[in-house]
Amino acid sequence: MSTSPIQLTNLQLASPRLDGDLGVSGSRPKRRTSVVAKPNPGLSSLMKDSSLGDPESLYELNDLGLSTIPVIPEYPTPLASAAASVESLHDPNDTSAPFIAALPPVDTGRDAWLFLIGATTCEMLIYGVPFSIGVLHLYWTEMYGAGSESTVTLASTLQTGLLYFSSAVFGPLLTSYPFYTKQIQYAGAVIAATSFIGAGFASKPWHLVLTMGCLYPFAGATYMPCAALVFEWFFQKRGLATGILFSGTGVGGATIPFLISFLLARFGYRATMVSIGIGYGLILSAALVFVKRRVPLGRVVRPEERRSTTMDWRCLKTRTMLFSLVVILLTSLANFVPSLWIPTFAEELQVRRPTGTGLIAIMNAASVPGAMLTGLVSDHIPVRYTVLLCCGLASLSCAFLWGFAKSGGPLVAFALLWGLSGLSFVGSWSKIVSLVSGENQGSAVLVFSIFTVLKGIGNFSSGPLSAALLKVDAFRGTPYGFKNYGVLLVYTGGVMMCGAIVGVGLRAPSTSR
Residue 440 lies in a domain: yes
The secondary structure of the chain in percent helix, strand, coil, rounded to multiples of 5, reads 65, 5, 30
Between 336 and 41, residue with greater pLDDT:
336
Whether residues 127 and 77 fall in one domain: no
Residue 384, pLDDT > 50, answer: yes
> What CATH number is associated with residue 139?
1.20.1250.20
Interhelix angle 337-348/408-420, rounded to 10 degrees, is 170
Q: What pLDDT, on the 0 to 100 scale, is given for residue 76?
A: 38
- Per-residue pLDDT, 101: 55
pLDDT score recorded for residue 310: 61
Q: Is residue 1 part of a domain?
A: no
Helix (H, G, I), strand (E, B) or coil at 11: coil
One domain for residues 200 and 342? no
Quote the percentage of the chain above a pLDDT of 70: 76
Whether residues 265 and 401 fall in one domain: no
* DSSP class of 476: T
> For residue 282, what are the domain limits?
105-298+305-309
Alpha carbon 317 to its chain's center: 23
* Mean of pLDDT over the chain: 77
Same domain, 180 and 293: yes
Residue 71 has, within 13 A of its CA and on its CB side, a CA count of 24
Ordered DSSP codes for 61-73 = GGG--SEEEE--T
How many structural domains does the chain have?
A: 3
The pLDDT of residue 346 is 86
Phi-psi region of 476 (alpha: psi -120 to 50; beta: other; left: phi over 0): beta
Distance, in Å, from the CA atom of 411 to the CA atom of 350, rounded to the nearest integer, reads: 12
Q: How do residues 216-274 score in pLDDT, each as one tens digit?
A: 999 999 998 888 888 888 888 888 898 999 889 888 888 888 898 889 989 999 999 99
What gap in Å lies between CA 463 and CA 483, rounded to an integer?
A: 19
Q: Coil, helix or strand for 99?
A: strand
Are 80 and 162 found together in one domain?
no
- 439 class by beta-carbon count within 10 Å (0-12 exposed, 13-18 middle, 19+ buried): exposed
Q: Is 384 within a domain?
A: yes
- Note whether 100 and 11 are within 8 A (CB): no
* pLDDT, average across residues 84-101: 43
Q: pLDDT (tens digit, 9 = 90+) per residue, 451-464? A: 989 988 988 888 78
How far is the CA of 364 from the CAs of 46, 129, 193, 256, 275, in angstroms?
Answer: 52, 12, 23, 11, 24
Question: Are the C-beta atoms of residues 2 and 39 closer than 8 Å to each other?
Answer: yes
Alpha-carbon span 433 to 509, nearest angstrom: 12
